[in-house]
Structure 1
């Protein structure tokens, strides 16, 4: 389990420096108190400067031999007090160097390496319950988890995404720099599940500004905000409450309607909805003549045309077809 550090980095650095100085101060006090057990091989006198010099040299190294402990008490103090202090001080310095220099350098190097390989991936902005279910469904449908980039500010949410195998990026998805770091311009699609409509719409605006041609799907919980999400640039706007209401209303007409709708949407159902472009050999044929599945609807010039409409009697080259296919 991980939690966000409660102290800012400069406070952590100050604490480590203070701890190192306290440990050195303990060694200095001990040497000064037992200075009669030390011998200066240069002038034979032990002053405070000599004790300060001997302490810093002994804590940071094993000493140079110009000042040495000669009494048993001084040698025991160096053995059981100064030596552990030396190890602790070195661990503090090494840990600080790792946290503030090496770790950040290594993370930046890893991030650049991951960014170089990101292409045709799916960016999931927000790892709420809906975002988590979307990632789980994508993986169940065969998408490589490494091609999913989850952007969120919550470390606990990102830890869960990492357990699922996804690539994670900690940050605010409403900011340009964060989405640029996720290489949104090279993404295959974007899923926005921020949990709040205002945040979701702002993410859509930012994403559309950075990636004009990438499909964006967003979850909006208020009917009034659905037009705003479309205006912001979302290709697909999903309202979980409205969809659940449709299923509930449909179930009153028959107990199996909601079950079939769930079957269409889930990865483990017997049938599935598929969207594709009309092939060259299908041009001119009616929608009912396709052999890959059961044609339900075509999209022509942005207009939805349902089966049975006279316009579906002859498919055109630019039509987008929605069909029901049997899942393998």
Structure 2
């Protein structure tokens, strides 16, 4: 029976994961083993080449096996003393070659431990530096389908990846976000301590993309308590829960299941309208919507005289539809919601997207 990530996250302290370049531990260990073997073979070759300069207490000349034995016990600092250098040349070789090799071999043996300690120190320093710098960022609670899509749209609209923080109870999801260049917190976003770890009190936007409506309500309540001024965008599956989210402090609520249902219904009854709506939902290619400030030369003009199709005007924090009489004339400080046609993206042979233009 699989454990629920939310239940596990509720009892574990939140953990911060920052973007990093991953390196295979097996490959690192293999490289050290190969280097250690090369050092061992080098000592064996030197000792066997000057085997007449060594004396074995068991008597007889030094064999290749004896050279391997001496090299092994010497560079590992065991040193039984049954085979010893007796000539000046052999002793000089031990001083200028075998001893440095012994030191290098020890470094290789403890290198993994040193690297782990250094990596842990470096990671703690990076996390402390991140906490001191994070301000006016966007917190995305939930890295499922909705959370990933929201982040992809944010990145395409010009939001920097270091201005986004993911919170999710599933360590694999947060690790996936970190590999994509997004900092993440492993923990239950309904908890106050987890949201503080994600610097919610300093955030400017909070996106609630939880998989359950009750979870979304709790996340919104906690976030609004920690940050009364941040804008909170939340998604719910059922429309009957939208009012609960608004009462909890959400500024905007998107009903995902009903939105999908409406799109399916429109696509069935009016397929061309459905195509346009689907194109608008897919940000970054084809038909797209953009918000921009009204230019000085557009002030005093009707919205029909603007070079781009204007669908709405944002004025005094109110959104006026294109057919609202108050839309015209355009006033200084207005923001225009315009429709644009962007180059369509098509998948290339290597899985990336390429423009048709």
TM-score normalised by the chain length of structure 2: 0.58
CA distance in 1, matches of 2:276, 2:186: 38
- Per-residue deviation, residues 221-244 of structure 1 (Å, max 9, x unmatched): 111111121222222211111111
Aligned pair count reads 245
Matched, 1:309 2:337: no
- Please state how far the C-alpha of 1:181 moved relative to its aligned partner: 2.3
Matched, 1:322 2:337: yes
Matched, 1:179 2:189: no
CA distance in 1, matches of 2:230, 2:221: 12
Q: Which residue of 2 is the match for residue 260 of structure 1?
A: 276
CA distance in 1, matches of 2:221, 2:211: 16
- Please state how far the C-alpha of 1:314 moved relative to its aligned partner: 2.0
Change (3 A) 1:238 1:163: same
- Please state how far the C-alpha of 1:272 moved relative to its aligned partner: 1.4
Q: Which residue of 2 is the match for residue 237 of structure 1?
A: 253
Change (3 A) 1:227 1:316: farther
Match of 1:153 among 169, 189, 203: 169
CA distance in 2, matches of 1:98, 1:171: 27
Q: Any conservation in 1 of the 2:285–2:341 contact (CA below 8 Å)? A: no
Q: Which residue of 2 is the match for residue 66 of structure 1?
A: none
TM-score normalised by the chain length of structure 1: 0.63
Change (3 A) 1:319 1:107: same
CA distance in 1, matches of 2:317, 2:167: 31
CA distance in 2, matches of 1:144, 1:301: 28
Match of 1:223 among 239, 244, 268: 239
Segments of 5+ residues of structure 1 without an aligned counterpart are 10-61, 63-86
- Per-residue deviation, residues 80-108 of structure 1 (Å, max 9, x unmatched): xxxxxxx9xxx9xx98x999x99876654
Change (3 A) 1:234 1:276: farther
Matched, 1:298 2:313: yes
Aligned to 1:256, what secondary structure does the other structure show? helix
Q: Any conservation in 1 of the 2:139–2:165 contact (CA below 8 Å)? A: yes
Q: Any conservation in 2 of the 1:151–1:168 contact (CA below 8 Å)? A: yes
Kindly report the root-mean-square deviation, in angstroms, between the aligned alpha carbons of the 2 structures. Answer: 3.6
CA distance in 1, matches of 2:232, 2:171: 24
- Per-residue deviation, residues 113-159 of structure 1 (Å, max 9, x unmatched): 11223234321111122112222333344443333211112111112
CA distance in 2, matches of 1:206, 1:102: 36
Alignment of 1:1-328 (within 5 A): 107-291=123-307, 293-301=308-316, 303-317=318-332, 319-327=334-342
More moved, 179-188 vs 166-175 = 179-188
Q: Any conservation in 2 of the 1:265–1:273 contact (CA below 8 Å)? A: no
- Per-residue deviation, residues 249-278 of structure 1 (Å, max 9, x unmatched): 222343222221122222332221112444
Q: Which structure is richer in relative contact order (CA contacts within 8 A, separation 6 or more)?
A: 2
Aligned to 1:324, what secondary structure does the other structure show? strand
